[in-house]
Amino acid sequence: MMHWLIKGARVVCPTQQIDAQMDLLAQNGQITALGHNLPADGARVVDADGLLLTPGFVDLHTHLGDPNREDRETLESGAAAAAKGGFTTVLMMPDTEPPLDNAPTVAQAVARGRQADVHVLVAAALTKGLAGNDMTEFHALKAAGAAVFIQPDGTVGNSGLLRRSLQYGRGVVPFIAEQPRDSSLIDDGLMHEGDNSTYLGIKGIPALAEVVTVSRDLLLAEETGSPIHLSLISSAAAVKMIADAKARGVPVTCDVSPQHLVYTDAALENYDVNYKLMPPLRTVADREALRQGVLDGTIDCIVTNHTPLTPEEKDVEFSLAPYGALGLETAFALLYTHWLHDEPEHLATVIAALSSRPARLLLQPAITGDLLPGNPADFVLIDLQRSKTVTAGELASMSKNSTELNATLQGWPAATFVAGKPVYASGELAWLAG
């Protein structure tokens, strides 16, 4: 295995509170040293002066088409998109065809994931067929390799079922997860309910659809004492409720997407279907509350909610288009361009929300989200000065439904290493992946 000495990068490792120009030595797939003026010891040297070096990013919410919807995304193209975006680990959602709701399908997904260039962990379905009616066989799914159980595109509407799921899941997996939304309050809404939905003549989705379910989930987690993870929080009211719950010891964690930290419902003024997301983009006040939630730790992680959809599915009338957009390749550049460039003091916190915080939740020994010597050499080099325009042709994903199409973003990964192996490299570092 090739040994690497990364010299002179600006190293940011939130777990060690490091932000300094340093060297990193990787040998036999592990980080063996982090310091100044390290000797090469036979390693291949990478001049990283002017580049940022961080732990590899960990995504807790990646949708892949594989199996049986390879027209949306294959495992290989999804892994390539992840590596290109600096993600060394992704948690694959169970909404495949068929869903990952039984031991054989989970075991097959785990086996296939081991063949990918990045770490692919598998989330199993919380309910059979993801229908929200019956629990899956938790112990069998865990034995097959499931990392967590999740209801990825909605809520378990039956409160008794969710309560039992929390009780049975405790001690089996690190957490039970769902995306909080009350479908009866969503009805046939298409975007955030507010001034912009009224102006555009589009039926809205009230923040209440999220808040009602968050309230119930927090009560159930508090009563059972079982960890719950709330995926894709979008409203200021939900952030406040979660903060209050954490303050009184409720075992709750949550995440947010980059799009919700950058865009608002004003992005839909041209009826662009790529901005039709679930949960919907909300107001400036919601966006600012979400950002503050990331900074103060109320929101634990930033996730991509990478949702590949074919042109035939997405390029239709706004009311008919499915929800979702790509996220793996552009997540960091989007956050850097529209947030961190102007507020660089928050860089380490955002990196933690992309790496060490999600890694900590997974409780996987090989997924650490830090640069501590002895840990796997999963890291990313980022060129904060590099700008480029996102085009469909250069996206690694099979699908092209990106909110960033034709946008110019700054701060792009230049190379991504997984277990000491370069799985992506561009520009002056393209030779790494050769």
**pLDDT for 41 beyond 90:** no
| Per-residue tokens: 426 | 């561009």
The mean pLDDT value of the chain amounts to 96
Secondary structure class of 276 (helix, strand, coil): coil
The burial class, CB within 10 Å (0-12 / 13-18 / 19+), for 348 is middle
User: Would you tell me the crossing angle of helices 159-169 and 208-224 to the nearest 10 degrees?
Assistant: 40
Neighbours of 19 (CB within 10 A): 15
The pLDDT value recorded for residue 67 is 86
Is residue 223 within 8 Å of 171, Cβ to Cβ?
Answer: no
CA-closest candidate to residue 332, choices 104, 57, 64: 57
Cα(139)–Cα(151) distance, integer angstroms: 17
Q: What's the gap between Cα 220 and its chain centre?
A: 25
Place domain 56-362 in its CATH homologous superfamily. Metal-dependent hydrolases (3.20.20.140)
Is residue 244 within 8 Å of 237, Cβ to Cβ?
Answer: no
**pLDDT for 349 beyond 90:** yes
Cα(268)–Cα(196) distance, integer angstroms: 8
Instruction: List, for residues 309-336, the tens digit of each pLDDT value.
Output: 999 999 999 999 999 999 999 999 999 9
CA-closest candidate to residue 321, choices 262, 399, 209: 399
The pLDDT value recorded for residue 232 is 98
Cα(59)–Cα(47) distance, integer angstroms: 28
Distances (CA, A) of 42 to 25, 325, 413, 428: 11, 44, 26, 22
**pLDDT for 433 beyond 90:** no
Is residue 46 within 8 Å of 88, Cβ to Cβ?
Answer: no
- Residue 427: pLDDT band (50, 70, 90) is confident
The pLDDT value recorded for residue 185 is 95
According to DSSP H, which parts of 85-229 are helical?
103-113, 138-143, 159-169, 183-186, 195-200, 208-224
Q: Which residues contact 99 (CB under 8 A, 6 or more apart)?
A: 105, 125, 129, 130
- Residue 434: pLDDT band (50, 70, 90) is low
Mean pLDDT of 123-138: 96
Pick the CATH number of 4-53+376-433 from 2.30.40.10, 3.30.9.40, 3.20.20.140, 2.40.10.10: 2.30.40.10
Cα(165)–Cα(172) distance, integer angstroms: 11
Write down the domain spans for the chain: 4-53+376-433, 56-362
| CA angle 315–400–268, rounded 5-degree value | 55
Cα(205)–Cα(64) distance, integer angstroms: 26
| Percentage of residues of the chain with pLDDT beyond 70 | 100
Instruction: List, for residues 254-279, the tens digit of each pLDDT value.
Output: 999 999 999 999 999 999 999 999 99
The pLDDT value recorded for residue 3 is 94
CA-closest candidate to residue 282, choices 316, 232, 213, 332: 232
**pLDDT for 87 beyond 80:** yes
- β strands within 281-353, DSSP E: 301-302
Q: Which residues contact 367 (CB under 8 A, 6 or more apart)?
A: 58, 89, 119, 121, 359, 376, 378
* Residue with tokens 């067929």, as numbered in its chain: 129
| Per-residue tokens: 90 | 């992704």
Q: Which of 150-154, 233-237, 249-253, 332-336 shows the lowest mean pLDDT across its residues? A: 150-154
| Per-residue tokens: 234 | 């979008």
